[in-house]
Chains A and B, each alone.
Chain A
Amino acid sequence: MQHKKTSWMVVGLAMLVGLIGAAPGLAQNEIFIPLLVYRTGPYAPSGIPIANGYTDYLKLLNTRDGGVNGVKITWEECETQYDTKLGVECYEKLKNQGPTGAVLVNPYSTGITYQLIPKAPVDKIPIHSMGYGRTATADGRVFAWTFNFPTTYWSQVSAFVRYVGEQEGGIDKLKGKKIALVYHNSPYGKEPIPTLELLAKQYGFELTLLAVDHPGQEQKATWLQIRRSQPNWIFLWGWGVMNQVSIKEAAAINYPMDHLIGAWWSGSEADVVPAGEGAKGYRSGNFHGVGTDFPLHAAILKQVYNGDQAAAKANNFGEVLYNRGLINAVYDTEAIRTAMAKFGNKPLTGEQVRWGFEHFDLMEARLKELGLAGFTRPIKVSCEDHEGNGPVFIQQWDGKQWQKLTDWISPMREVVRPQLEQAATDYAKENNLTPRNCASES
């Protein structure tokens, strides 16, 4: 019994120690970025490469350039397992860390993003939900503190329709064709539906909506329905295990893989793993470059991995989601740089970085300097437009790696933007917010 009592004591002490909370930050010449990651749990296969890409770029900046304009970037990873409640805990724990607090946050989860959007103006920490989150935040007049550039789900799906139209020989040839949307039964999966319904009416294609219940481990019924209706094109809007199973089931019913187009969260190396050879030809959307053929990657390989290819590969170097984390870090640090141009090369506050985001203007020349020529398109963010109307391209899985298949496809801004503004206005009305007047601000 004695040793049981002592083990009690040890456990109790450990818990008491954990009680004490966050350690105080030391005032230094640094900028702190909290990293909400998911390296464990059901979405770890997607979360690990993103986190690696993001941290590798920050490591490169710190070691090669001494930070951004001489100010080092510090970060701390916090494990959310893609769970909203853990995300709250991570955010609250890290938001006041560093000399000026957290300067920005990348929630990397729809649930966490929605939860943080109302908090951002109160905590004065801008949110960068790059290509995910609440699409309506593209309207900066209502959502001053949330940015989702370079592009959003609604833009992505309109680009898909444009691409499919091209493939059919012209967008007017879409009339009478069948497009099916296999989507994850969650707000994320339902994002493209209003836009698709609008476009279906506009261009006359027949839209079938097939919901897959979370987590999507068993999808026979969905793919039987696909077999029956034989759509010409399928858009896949999945996440996590749903992706792997969908692609495998599509291969199992002999559906032509090159007519299956996944959203950019359904098009990574992890998603095609179980289907293997059967996934050859599968396509997905993307908004940044694939592979390692860029000067920036060479720099990271040299600086961060000392040329060790194997170690880099083990850290998902060059994978689709690694590159996504990478470009996210590039955007964030460039926004900090933009803010520094106005406020000085010192540890900035969240409010100043928000200004940096809103005046973000990544030009071709700068992309070349960064070693990313051709990786993404130039992006300009403004007070009204937090999306930047970024273009999308289609990539294809050739059995071994993802390859860029098409050139940049512009989204249908004339369809998407009015919808966006309507959604933002509805939100403002419901929450008693007055939209900003962009003309009166500088």
Chain B
Amino acid sequence: MALDNSLAVLIAPFVDMASAPIFFAEVVVGGFIAGVMYAMVALGFVLIFKASGVFNFAQGVMVLFAALTLVGLMEHGLPVWLALVITTAVMIILAFAIERVVLRPLVNQPPFTLLMATIGLTFFLEGFGELVWGSNVKKLNLGLPEAPVDVGGMLLNQFDLLAAFTAATLVAVLAFLSQKTSLGRALRAVADDHQAATAVGISLQTIWVTVWSVAGIVALVGGIMWGAKSGVQFSLSLIALKALPVLILGGLTSIPGAIVGGLIIGVGEKIAEVYWGPLVGGAIENWFAYMLAMVFLLFRPQGLFGEEIIERV
């Protein structure tokens, strides 16, 4: 009996995988796509944490707020490109406002205080977004193709592939900006030591506004990708929870880490749910993602690509 059970858990899923390789490939691809979508949300967290040392609890709400603004403007009849431009502008204004109202008065405060401040921001944006744009589900239609295509026996969604491509591009661009441009250098300097950065003439204000704006734009892209799947509604802000395991696996301060973490979590999640889920009743995705991240953390406590935590006595 025990042998049966252990066979079922240890051997049968692998047999399953091997016997239907095309389906397995489909699961892996599906995992990659899901992971990339998580990574897009995780990117926002990483950018802000890198530059201001703040864990931006409000990132999920920013995704929702950006998507709401975009769809709200489109509903009022604006063409897509204009709505995108105006929404980007709104996110930049939001970044200015956050820097002025939240970050500047709380400079040099302990990380918990800053976290709590972003929580206050979350409540504020939730109420404000719903007040201005309403609580109904809104359809996000950007004229992008949505039909599935058959690729060698696997059914892939055009929109999903587009989302994956966009996310990969975004990560590449951000990684390039961070490593190769002077803005990126300034960012890394600020992340390292606020006071030293100001000492060499880097304006904290400018960096913070820039970073929060970029995070806002990343949130907008994430909001578009996720909002197209489920309609733009309140639950969009809960996506941030799915991005957390990605963050800790990849490392809170690493942009490529977000993508790699996302891919690992995405694929791991899907494989666990499809092959092991039915054995234990299903719906194991959520906790499995966290468990997977935790296992990685036990070997590398700062995440795969995160900055090594050096403690000085």
Contacts and interface: CB of A to CB of B under 8 A. Distances in A.
**Complex contact flag A–B (Cβ < 8 Å):** yes
Interface of A: 39-42, 44-45, 48, 185, 209-213, 215, 217-218, 220-222, 224-225, 227-228, 240-241, 244-245, 248, 252-254, 270, 273-274, 276, 278
A400 to B, nearest CB: 14
B115 to A, nearest CB: 23
A123 B305 CA distance: 59
Given A220-B33, A254-B155, A42 B234 contact: yes
Contact of A45 (B26, B137, B148, B155): B137
Nearest to A252: B157
Interface centre among A218, A221, A273 (most CB of B within 10 A): A221
Given A48-B136, A224-B274, A211 B233 contact: no
A41 B228 contact: no
A48 B135 contact: yes
B235 A274 contact: no
A278 B148 CA distance: 11
A42 B229 contact: no
Q: Which 3 A-B pairs have the closest CB atoms?
A: A44-B135, A221-B273, A211-B283
B277 interface: yes
Contacts of A270: 136-137, 231
B283 A248 contact: no
A253 B26 CA distance: 12
B286 interface: yes
Given A224-B26, A253-B148, A276-B141, A218 B235 contact: no
Nearest to B273: A221
A274 B23 contact: no
Interface centre among B238, B239, B269, B283 (most CB of A within 10 A): B283
Given A210-B282, A245-B229, 19 more contacts: A42-B234, A44-B130, A45-B135, A209-B281, A209-B282, A212-B283, A217-B229, A217-B242, A218-B242, A221-B27, A224-B27, A225-B278, A244-B230, A244-B233, A252-B146, A252-B157, A273-B137, A274-B137, A274-B230
A44 B34 contact: no
A248 B139 CA distance: 12
A310 to B, nearest CB: 15
Interface in B11-55: 20, 23, 26-27, 30-31, 33-34, 37
A126 B130 CA distance: 34
B283 A213 contact: yes
Contacts of A222: 273
Contacts of A252: 146, 148, 157
B266 to A, nearest CB: 9
Contact of A217 (B33, B239, B277, B282): B239
A244 B137 contact: yes
Contacts of B230: 217, 241, 244-245, 248, 274
Contact of B155 (A44, A211, A212, A253): A253
A151 B215 CA distance: 49
